[in-house]
Chain A
Amino acid sequence: MKIESRGLDFFYGTAQALHGVTLGVKTREIFALIGPSGCGKSTFLRCINRMNDTLDGTSVRGMLTLDDADIYAPNVDVVKLRRRVGMVFQKPNPFPKSIFDNVAYGLRLGMKLPRTELEGRVERALRGAALWDEAKDRLSASAMMLSGGQQQRLCIARAIAVEPEVLLMDEPTSALDPIATARLEELMQSLRAAYTIVIVTHNLQQAARVSDTTAFFLHGRVVEVAPTDTLFTRPRVKETEEYITGRFG
C-alpha cells in the first residue's frame, strides 16, 4: 500500500471529526473519497500531507503511513512530506506571478537549479499537466490571465513540478465548466501512470468515471471501501446504497 490508515481518529479541539478510519491506497491508483458535507473526507485528505497541522488545536490518534513510514512520527520533516504529497485545491489558486514563476515556485524553494534545468523541469511539468501547448508562447504572462480550467491545470503543473509521489485533489473541478472538467479528468488518467491520486469529490459521476477505488465516508467513519465498479453498481452497505441513489435513510 502506498498510503495506509489504521484506526485513525482526528479531533478539531474536542470535536472528533474522524473515527477509526481504516483504508489503504495502492500505488498509482486513483482513490476517490465520497460522502455528504461534513463526513470527514476532506479532513482525512488533509491528514495525508498534514495540512491540518496548520490549524490550532487539532490532534491525531492512530496510524497513517506513506510507504509504511508513519506520517505523524515526531521526526517527520513536514516540508519534505509535502514535496512527496502534493495538493490541488477546490478553487484554482495561482500565485499573482507569471506562468513560469508559478511552476518554478516549488523548484526554487530549497533548490538552486541552473536556469536550463529549471526551464526543462517547468516545461516537463506544464506538459504533464497538459498545459504546455496553450502556455508555451506566454510563459512570462500573468497566471491570472488564464481561464479557470487552465489555472487549475497550472496548479497541477506547480504540484507535479517538484515530482511528488502522491497528488491530493480536494474537489478539483467544482469551480470548472463541463469542458474544463472533462480535460482535467482526462489529465488525471494520464497522471495516474506516475502518481498515486487521492481525490475528494461531491460529484458521484466523477468518482465513478475517474477512480479505481472509492471509499464512502459518513459521520467521520468509513462505511464502505470497494472497487469503484462494484461500489456504484452493487454496494454492500445500505447507507452506501442510499447515498449513491439519493434516497432518504
Chain B
Amino acid sequence: MMGSRHLDSKYDSELNELAVHMTRMAVRAESMVRDAIRSLLDRDAELARAVIRSDRELDRLELEADEMSLRLLARRAPFGEDLRFVTVNLKIVTDLERMGDLAVNLAERALELMQGPGLSAGREVEQLATASLAAVSDAVRAYQARDSAVARDVLRNDRNIDALNRGAFELLIRIAHERPDEFGRALALTSVCRYLERIADHATNVSEMVVFLVEAEDVRHRGLDRKKDEG
C-alpha cells in the first residue's frame, strides 16, 4: 500500500488484511500452476493429485477475498488508490481462481499422459510451460510489490507466449498426422498447451490490473500501445 497511513488506523488494518489475504491466494495459485507443470514434466502422480485436492482451498480463499472487498466497499466507501485497490482485487480473484482451475486441468491431463510413454514435443511444451510459469510468478511478484514495471514486462512478454503456443500446437498437429500411435497423446498435449496459454493470459490480466492500481492507467485492450511499448 501507499507509504502514508490513514487517519483511521482500523481502515489501514482492514486494507492490509485484504492485501495479505490476496497475496496468500496469489501465492497459492502460483504454487498450483508450478506443481501442475512439475507433475506433468516429472510424471509425478502424487503431485498431480495434490494440485487437484488444493483447488478447494483456492475456491475458499476466493470467496473470502470477495467478502472482504465487498465489506470494505460497503463500510468504507473508498476513494482514489484505495478504491482502485479494492476493485482491482475483485477482478484479480477471478483470474487467480481460473489459474487454479487450469492448473487442475493440467494435473488431470498429466495423470492421463503418465499412462503412456514419454512425451513427443516435450521440449516445446516445456518451453511454453516455463514461459507461462514465469508470467504467473512475475504477475504475482508485481502485485505483491505494487511494481508496475514488472507488470508491464509481463504484458510485453505475452506475445512470446502466444508464439510458443502456436509453435508447439503446430508441431503436435503434425505429430498427430504423421504418427497414428501418438495421436491420442498429441491431442492431449494440445489441451495442455491451451491451458498453459490461458494461464499466461490470466497472468496478463493480473498485470494489467497492477498497472491500473499503481499508475491509475487502464491498459486493457491496448494492443497498439503495447506494440509501441515494445518499440
Which residues of A are in contact with B by a Cβ distance under 8 Å?
204-205, 208, 232-235, 240-242, 244-249
Chain A residue nearest in CB terms to B78? A245
A246 and B84 CA atoms in complex are apart in Å by 15
Indicate if the CB atoms of B8 and A232 lie closer than 8 Å: no
Bound: A241/B85 CA distance, A: 13
Q: Do residues B4 and A204 form an inter-chain contact, with CB atoms below 8 A? A: no
| Cβ < 8 Å to A, chain B residues 4-19 | 4-8, 11
In the bound complex, do residue B216 and residue A245 qualify as a contact, i.e. CB atoms below 8 Å apart? no
- Cα A232 to Cα B81 in complex, Å, equals 9
Q: What is the bound-complex CA distance between A247 and B6, given in angstroms?
A: 4
Given A232-B83, A245-B2, A245-B81, list of 19 further CB < 8 A pairs? Answer: A232-B80, A233-B84, A233-B216, A234-B216, A241-B80, A241-B81, A244-B80, A245-B78, A245-B79, A245-B80, A246-B6, A246-B7, A246-B8, A247-B2, A247-B4, A247-B5, A247-B7, A248-B7, A249-B4
A244 contacts B4, C-beta separation under 8 Å: no
Cα A233 to Cα B87 with chains together (Å): 11
A245 to B5: give the CA distance in the assembly, Å: 10
Please tell me the number of chain B residues within 8 Å of chain A, measured between CB atoms. Answer: 16
Does B59 belong to the interface (CB within 8 Å)?
no
Contacts of B64 in A (CB 8 A): none
Chain B interface secondary structure, helix, strand, loop or mixed? loop
Instruction: List, in ascending order, chain A residues with CB within 8 A of B216's CB.
Output: 233-234
Q: Which residue of B lies closest to A208 (CB)?
A: B79
* Residue contacts A-B, CB under 8 angstroms, 22 given: A204-B79, A205-B77, A208-B79, A232-B79, A232-B83, A233-B80, A233-B216, A235-B80, A241-B2, A241-B80, A244-B79, A244-B80, A245-B78, A245-B80, A245-B82, A246-B11, A247-B2, A247-B5, A247-B6, A247-B7, A248-B4, A249-B4
CB-defined contacts of B2 to chain A, threshold 8 Å: 241, 245, 247
Binary flags per residue of B197-231, CB closer than 8 Å to A gives 1, else 0: 00000000000000000001000000000000000
Please give me the residue from chain A that is nearest to B77 by CB atom.
Answer: A205
Interface pairs A-B: 5 shortest CB-CB: A234-B216, A244-B79, A247-B4, A245-B80, A241-B80
Provide the bound-state CA to CA distance between A240 and B79, in Å. Answer: 10
Q: Which residues of B contact A248 (CB under 8 A)?
A: 4-7
Which residues in A have their C-beta under 8 angstroms from that of B4? 242, 247-249
B197 to A: closest C-beta gap in Å:
32
Interfacial chain A residues near B7, Cβ < 8 Å = 246-248
In the complex, which of the residues A234, A240, A242, A247 has the most CB atoms of chain B within 10 Å of its own CB atom?
Answer: A247
